Amino acid sequence: MNAVGLVVEYNPFHNGHRYHLHQAKKVSGAEVTVAVMSGNFTQRGEPTIVDKWARAKAAVMSGVDLVVELPIFYAVQPAHRFAAGALRLLAALNVNSVVFGAEHPQWNFEYLVEAEKQFNQEGFNQYNATYATQFNQQLKAQTGVTLVDPNDILAFAYTKAKIQHNYQFDLLPIQRQGSNYHDKDINGEIASASAIRQALLRGNSYRQAVPSVMADCLAQTKSIPSWEQLYPLLRNQLIQAPISTLRATYLMAEGLEYRMKDAAQRSLDFGSFMKFTKTKRYTYAHLLRVYLYTLLQITQAEVDRHYENPYLHVLAFNQLGRQYLHEVKKKVETPLITKVDQDLRDGLLNLDYRAGKLYQLFTPLEQDLKHPPVIID
């Protein structure tokens, strides 16, 4: 079967995602849709609004045929690693194309990737500016273009990963519709995920912007998972752990462990903690990722080991998705997992298992061990 791949977070699944899904089928001519979806934590390092099983179920009930988890060591990463990990899994699943939204789908992203090769690496030594700022300074000098919109940044990253790994599927960008990515208000049937989360937080109406299955799920949400709720655990860990342990944490660099430990000792609330750890060198998204990896006690060595040993953890599918899995499973070399046993918990899926256990602060449901895929007939 001809398959189209989607890279998603669905936090939550909304009408814009449904439009993207329909357009993906249209422009690709695919018979089956395969979504690689972040688990219980987003690319920015924040807990998702509802767990991965509920989001995967809503996706399949809204038209996706197969949902596979993007493991935490790919999902909670800057755009280039997030994109590379997602495409690696879609390539393993033999998709024919990958469709993604972009603010400027008309741009020649291959040209921008080529322009990056001409960058002056010494131009990345400014400690009073983020990497993204320095990157865009050089990109604008080379091409006149800057990558500031989230989906354009990912479009660039997808293109770069495809070229680097010589993937044979097509990349098909489509125009992002409706609200801007960071809009905070719902002004129609298509709204940003940020606006929907804000509406839920404020007790405002959001049903017009999401499919009914997602609306019913959100209606049962008693509180939105947040770093404010996780912070007491992080604070205690930062205070108790020796500097040598903190220094081994994945993404910890340039003395950030000292800054975080000092901030934890001074800050009783998460807002103050972020203020004390923020510098011009790091974005808030980068810091959130470091916080999460610190809380999960994940080391550089663990991420390196898992990064070289990917897997396909199936979260949900319908009958068409089942047929596609049956068709490709004999060709797929990457481990295909439909149920997590104790060996997988302690080995291949250990990082996701630990992330799932942390997420159980927000839900009583077991996130991985012995949890079967959601099947929609």
**Residues 6 or more apart whose Cβ sits within 8 Å of residue 3:** 30, 31, 32, 33, 34, 93, 94, 95, 96, 324
To the question of whether residue 101 is assigned a binding role by annotation, the answer is yes
Tell which phi-psi region holds residue 311, choosing left (phi > 0), alpha (psi between -120 and 50) or beta: beta
**Geometric angle at alpha carbon 43, from 245 and 229, rounded to 5°:** 65
CA distance 52 to 75: 13
Is 317 annotated as a binding-site member? no
3-class SS at 184? coil
13 labeled part of a ligand binding site: yes
Does the annotation place 19 within a ligand binding site? Answer: yes
- 318 assigned ligand-binding residue: no
Q: Which amino acid is present at 228?
A: E
Residue 7 counted as an annotated binding residue: yes
Q: Flag whether 15 is marked binding.
A: yes
68 assigned ligand-binding residue:
no
Give strand pairing partners of 336.
312
**Is residue 20 a known part of a binding site?**
yes
14 is in an annotated binding site: yes
- How many degrees, rounded to 5, is the angle at CA 299 between CA 293 and CA 301? 145
Interatomic CA distance for residues 340 and 336, integer angstroms: 11
* 225 appears as a binding residue in the annotation: no
* Alpha carbon 118 to chain centroid, angstroms: 29
Q: What does the block give as tokens for 226?
A: 């947040």
Question: Is 16 among the annotated ligand-binding positions?
Answer: yes
Cite the annotated binding site by residue number. Answer: 7-20, 101, 151, 176
Cite the annotated binding site for ATP by residue number. Answer: 7-20, 101, 151, 176
